[in-house]
Amino acid sequence: MDFNCFRQSGEVTILLLKDIISDQVVYLRPGETLEKAVQNFRHNKIDIIPVVDSDMKLLGIFTRTNLYDALLNGASLNIAIDHYMNKKPFFLSADLPYDEVAELVKKTTVGAVPVIDAEEKVIGVFNKADMVLALLERSELLNTKFQAILNSMHNGVIAIDGKGFITLVNTGAERIFSIGEEKCLGLPLSNVLPDLDLTAALEHSEVNVMLQYRRKEISTVVNITPLTHMDKVVGAIAIFQDITELNFVGRELEAVKEINRTLDTVLNIIGDGIIVVDEKGNVTLSNRIFDDFMDISPEDITGRHVTEVINGSRLHIVAKTGIPETGDIQNIRGKSLIVSRLPIIKEGRVVGAVGKMIFPQLPEIKELAEKLVSLQNKVAYYEEELQKTKTAWDVMDGIIGESPAIKSIKQEIARVSKSTSTVLITGESGTGKELVAKAIHMCSDRSNGPFIKINCAAISESLLEAEIFGYAPGAYTGALKNGKPGRFELADGGTILLDEIADMSLALQAKILRVIQEREFERVGGTRSIRVNVRILAATNKELEKGIAEGTFREDLYYRLNVINIHLPPLWEHPEDIEFLAKSFFKKYNRILGADVRGFEREVVEILCRHRWPGNVRELENVVERAVNYARSGNVRIEHLPPYMLGEGERPGSEIKIPKESDSYRDKMHELERDLILDALDKAGGNKTRAAKILNLSRSRLYVKMKKYNMII
C-alpha cells in the first residue's frame, strides 16, 4: 500500500476505505455455475464473491455459506448461482473515512463486504484483515522516519523501561560514551552509566532538566523525562548534550539550552538543523533550529518542494535515488554549512529523505568519518535483518528460470530441505550456490533458526579457525577478554554454509570432519567441548576429486560432505533462462537506479543468448546493470551492451561457434552442446569420466546428456 494516497491537512491524516483495499476484484456474473464459484473460492482463498452485471454494478453476493446450502440441497455443480446468492447484500462506499469503517467493524459480525464507487461499481472487497494491515504499515512508516531522525541527532539518547533496563541507544549516545547499542540493550542502566539516577522519573514521574553528568573524561548535560502510557509510567528517556565541546559550538549551545528548557519534543533539542521530505521532495517536517536559521515558520514550508525552501538543495534527489550524501559543503543564506542527506528506506523502497545542517566546527568535521562508518554498519545490520524475514517462497522465487535444469534444482531443494544430511553444492563461480544454500535453509524446519555463512577463501588462514570455532578468553594477544563465539556456535539450531570449502587447509579440514562426525568442538585456546545442533552445507567451484588426487583435500571429509550433491549448471547449459534472468535484473535496477527501461530489442536478446557467459549469472547481472545505466528509458539497444559482447575486445574463452541462421535457436544450442560433448570425448580418448571433468559436469549428468542426443553410452 502507498501511503502517498493519504489526504493530509496540517497534522490530520484522512484515510479512506479505497486506500486500504486490494484493487484485484474476483467476481461472478448471473448465470455462472456453482462450479465456477468453487474454483474462485479455491484459487483465491476468499469468503465472498460479488455478483455483478456487465457494467460491474453490484447485483448480490455469493458466499461460502450459499455454496454449502446449495450442495446440501442436492444442487449439482452445473447449476447457476442465481437461486442461491444474496440479492440484498451489505456493502460499503469506497469514499468512507477510515474512522467510520473502524466503527462499523466493531458493530458488525460480517467478516467481508463488497466496496462500490460513486457509480455503484464494485472496485474491491474489504475485510477486517485489510484494516489491521493498513495500521501496521502506517506504524512502520512513522517508526522508520523516527529512527532516521533519531540517528541523525548530534545529541545522545538512551531510553529505559519501567524496571530500569535499557531499550534504546542512538548513534549520538554511542559516540559520546564510546558504547555499542547491541551490547547495552537489555542491561540495567546502572551497568552502563553508573551514578545516573532515574528513580525520580520512574517512581514520581518527575522531569529533570539540565542535570550535570560526568563519565570518565566526558561531561554532559542531561534531560530526563518519564515515558507514560495511560497515566502510568512505563519508562524514561535521557537526552545528553556533550558539553566538552562548549568552546566550539557557541550559538548552537544557546539554542540547545533553550530547547532543553522547553522539552517540547526530542526533535527540538537537536543542535543541528533538520528537514524531512517525502519521496517527491515535498517538505513534511522541520525542527526549530532549521526554522530559526531560515527565518521561516513551519506552516509556511510544510507541503512546499524543498527547492523552494533551500536554493540548490539536493534532498529531493536523494529521496529519489536512495543514495546518501554526507560531508557536503553547501552555501545557505550566505553561509557555508556542512550538510548530510540520508534516505528514509522502508521495505527496500525509498519513501523520503532527511537533511541535516551542521554549522562549521572542528570537532564535527572530525566526527563525520566516524558517523559515516557507523551509518554503513547500521545499513549492513538492517540488510542482514531484512534477509532473515524472507520466507521460503521468497527465496525459491529468487531462483529464476523455467528450464528443466532449474526446475530440477528446485525439486532437489524441496526434497533435501526435509533432511538433516550434509549437502555439497558445486558449480562454477556466479551460478548461485549461496542462493541455493539459503533456499535449503528457508525450506527446512530450521528456517526460524540462524543461517550463518563463512567464505573460507576470504579470510586469512591464521584467522579462519578462530572465525569458525571462536576463541577462549586470553587465547592470544589482542583477543577479547571474554572470548568470542565462532560461526558454529552462532549457527546452533540453524544452518551453516562453508563456502569455498576447497580453500581450507588440511589441518582445519580435520577439525571440520570432527564437527560433522561428533557435532562438537573446542574454541581456539579452550579446553571445554561445545556441542551444537547444526546442519552443514558446503559449496565450491573447484573439483574436490582433483584436490584429493593432489593431496590438498581430505578424502574422508569429501565423502562426509558429499552425502547429497546439488550441481548448478553453468548458464550456457540452460540458455532458455537467459531472457527470464535478464528481465528480472532490469526490473531490479530500474528500482535501484530510478530508471524506466521497458525491455530489450530483439537483437539484444539474440546476443545475450549467443554469449558464452564465463561469469555465469553474476556476469549477466553486471551486463544488465550496465545496460540500464546507459539506456535509462525505453528498450535496451545493442550500443548499450559492453564492447566485448559485440566483438570488440572479446574476452578469452567467450567465443563460441555460431550455427547457421536458418536453424532455430534451440536447435543451434543443441547442436553446439552435442559438438562440445563429442570434442571432450575425443580429447579424453573415449573415457567418460575424464570427458565429464573437461566439461565441468558430473559423470551422471554427462550420461543424461549423451542419452538425450542419442549418443552411444
Residue 653 has pLDDT above 50, yes or no: no
Phi, psi for residue 282 in degrees, rounded to 5: -85, 140
Whether 277 and 246 map to the same domain: the answer is no
* Distance separating alpha carbons of residues 398 and 450, to the nearest angstrom: 19
Across the chain, mean pLDDT equals: 81
Residue 577: its pLDDT value, please? Answer: 92
- Residue 164's domain is classified under what CATH number? 3.30.450.20
Q: Is 688 helix (H, G, I), strand (E, B) or coil?
A: helix
Task: Render the burial of 599-635: b for 16+ CB within 10 Å, e for the rest.
Answer: ebeeebbebbbbbebbbbbebbbebbbebbeebeeee
Q: How confident is the model at residue 1 (pLDDT cuts 50, 70, 90)?
A: very low
More confident residue, 376 or 186: 186
Q: Residue 226's closest CA among 171, 161, 169, 146?
A: 161
* Distance separating alpha carbons of residues 425 and 437, to the nearest angstrom: 8
Residue 292 has pLDDT above 70, yes or no: yes
Q: Is 211 helix (H, G, I), strand (E, B) or coil?
A: strand
Domain count, the chain: 6
Residue 620: its pLDDT value, please? Answer: 93
- Residue 683's domain is classified under what CATH number? 1.10.10
Residue 616: its pLDDT value, please? Answer: 93
Q: Is 318 helix (H, G, I), strand (E, B) or coil?
A: helix
* Distance separating alpha carbons of residues 490 and 475, to the nearest angstrom: 19
C-alpha cell at 669: 544450442
More confident residue, 112 or 661: 112
* Distance separating alpha carbons of residues 126 and 115, to the nearest angstrom: 7
713 lies in a domain? Answer: no
pLDDT digits (tens, 9 = 90+) for 81-119: 988 898 888 888 888 887 777 777 766 666 788 888 888
Residue 707 has pLDDT above 60, yes or no: yes
* Distance separating alpha carbons of residues 198 and 200, to the nearest angstrom: 6
187 lies in a domain? Answer: yes
* Distance separating alpha carbons of residues 309 and 602, to the nearest angstrom: 47
452 lies in a domain? Answer: yes
* Distance separating alpha carbons of residues 691 and 680, to the nearest angstrom: 5
* Distance separating alpha carbons of residues 87 and 676, to the nearest angstrom: 68
CB atoms within 10 A of CB 546: 12
Q: Is 5 left (phi over 0), alpha (psi -120 to 50) or beta?
A: alpha
Residue 149: its pLDDT value, please? Answer: 80
Whether 373 and 397 map to the same domain: the answer is no
Q: Is 617 helix (H, G, I), strand (E, B) or coil?
A: helix
Q: Residue range 489-503: average pLDDT? A: 93
Whether 471 and 540 map to the same domain: the answer is yes
What proportion of the chain, given as a percentage, has pLDDT over 70? Answer: 81
**576 burial type by CB count under 10 A (0-12 exposed, 13-18 middle, 19+ buried):** middle
653 lies in a domain? Answer: no
C-alpha cell at 616: 555465469
Residue 539 has pLDDT above 90, yes or no: yes
* Distance separating alpha carbons of residues 668 and 658, to the nearest angstrom: 8
Q: Are 273 and 283 in contact (CB under 8 A)?
A: no
More confident residue, 536 or 684: 536
Least confident among 20-34, 399-413, 652-666: 652-666
Residue 476 has pLDDT above 80, yes or no: no
Residue 362: its pLDDT value, please? Answer: 42
140 lies in a domain? Answer: no
Q: How confident is the model at residue 435 (pLDDT cuts 50, 70, 90)?
A: very high
Least confident among 250-259, 317-326, 681-690, 692-701: 250-259
Most confident residue range from 206-215, 443-452, 687-696: 443-452
More confident residue, 689 or 506: 506
Residue 11: its pLDDT value, please? Answer: 43
pLDDT digits (tens, 9 = 90+) for 403-424: 999 999 999 998 999 899 999 9
Q: Are 483 and 475 in contact (CB under 8 A)?
A: yes
What proportion of the chain, given as a percentage, has pLDDT over 90? Answer: 28
Residue 8: its pLDDT value, please? Answer: 40
Residue range(s) defining the domain that contains residue 254: 151-269
Whether 544 and 577 map to the same domain: the answer is no
More confident residue, 404 or 334: 404
Whether 351 and 429 map to the same domain: the answer is no
652 lies in a domain? Answer: no
